[in-house]
């Protein structure tokens, strides 16, 4: 009933927590309004660590909060990327909010508490136990608009977070890795079974979890080439033209397999576009 209670947690129904302990200055409702979970393997590769940090930073640059579990590996990289970008990040723990776990993340947890929030359903001083991590994962999935899995082996705990998100009908996004990497085998399985949508950057993540029709990722385009947008017959004339020597219309028509008048029309078009040059009674192709 508290004003800061994150409403999405209620989607857990009978599995929702009775209360949440929060450490930090941020209003939990406000900070979670536009939030994405970024999870993955503890034994992250250099590739996964880089991608996790980049996603954390890029999501925060676009005004989104990054939520994770403060574990070693992908979790820590996502948190650090968010903090490096000056954004907000939330850590959901499987222990009390005053317990430093893992111990090596004392400084990281302090920064998260300052810039974002640390959350747990367990009261202070409660120690982490194996079963509590799996239970905690349902909160990570429930608090956010979607879950991104960066790296996960076949038995990774990150897959349980993905399963919880699927059960809640929340989007699951998967970042592909090398097909030879065991650390990405679980991620690839999610995609192969059509349980997750493949993404490669923050813009693609936001397109899925953001506002329909507004948060669209930019369309990927390759380099612009001379043939782009040309009529097929004009493109054949362009292909038939030499680059160095000048050739007359008949020679170009023979090479292109087109009538001379068709070639002339195509040459006029190419001349206007700066793709062809004329001299000495002949034509040649100009590089652009």
- pLDDT: which is higher, 174 or 279: 174
Q: Model confidence over 230-271: pLDDT tens digits?
A: 888 888 888 888 888 888 888 889 998 999 899 889 888 888
Q: Model confidence over 187-220: pLDDT tens digits?
A: 999 999 999 999 999 999 999 998 765 656 566 6
Q: Model confidence over 99-155: pLDDT tens digits?
A: 999 999 999 999 999 999 999 999 999 999 988 999 999 999 999 999 999 999 988
Query: For position 224, what pLDDT does the model report?
Result: 60
What does the mean pLDDT of the chain come to?
91
Query: For position 275, what pLDDT does the model report?
Result: 83
Work out the average pLDDT over 58-67. Answer: 96
Q: Which one, of 267, 246, 250, lies nearest residue 259 by Cα?
A: 250
Q: What angle do CA 208, 30, 21 make, to 5 degrees?
A: 110
Q: Model confidence over 71-80: pLDDT tens digits?
A: 999 999 999 9
> Predicted confidence band at 36 (pLDDT cuts at 50, 70, 90)?
very high
List the structure tokens of 134.
């799996």
Instruction: Give the whole-angstrom CA distance, residue 92 versus residue 97.
Output: 9
Classify the C-alpha dihedral 72-185-165-84 as positive or negative: positive
């Amino acid at each position: 009933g508290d004003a800061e209670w994150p409403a999405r947690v209620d989607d857990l129904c009978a599995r929702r927590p009775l209360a949440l302990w929060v450490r930090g200055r941020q209003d939990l409702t406000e900070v979670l309004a536009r939030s994405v979970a970024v999870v993955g393997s503890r034994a992250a590769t250099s590739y996964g660590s880089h991608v996790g940090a980049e996603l954390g930073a890029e999501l925060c640059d676009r005004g989104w909060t990054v939520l994770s579990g403060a574990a070693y590996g992908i979790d820590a990289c996502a948190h650090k990327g968010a903090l490096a970008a000056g954004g907000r990040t939330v850590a959901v723990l499987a222990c009390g909010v005053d317990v430093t776990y893992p111990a090596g993340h004392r400084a990281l947890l302090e920064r998260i508490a300052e810039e974002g929030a640390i959350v747990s359903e367990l009261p202070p001083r409660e120690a982490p136990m194996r079963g509590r991590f799996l239970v905690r994962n349902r909160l990570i999935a429930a608090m956010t608009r979607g879950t991104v899995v960066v790296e996960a082996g076949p038995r990774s705990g990150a897959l349980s977070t993905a399963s919880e998100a699927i059960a809640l009908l929340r989007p699951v996004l998967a970042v592909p890795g090398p097909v030879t990497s065991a650390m990405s085998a679980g991620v690839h399985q999610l995609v192969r079974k059509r349980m997750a949508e493949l993404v490669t950057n923050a813009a693609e993540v936001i397109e899925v979890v953001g506002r329909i029709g507004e948060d669209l990722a930019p369309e990927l385009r390759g380099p612009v080439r001379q043939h782009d947008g040309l009529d097929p017959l004009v493109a054949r004339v362009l292909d038939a033209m030499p680059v160095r020597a000048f050739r007359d219309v008949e020679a170009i028509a023979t090479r292109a397999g087109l009538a001379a008048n068709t070639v002339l029309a195509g040459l006029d078009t190419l001349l206007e576009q700066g793709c062809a040059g004329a001299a000495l009674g002949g034509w040649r192709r100009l590089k652009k």
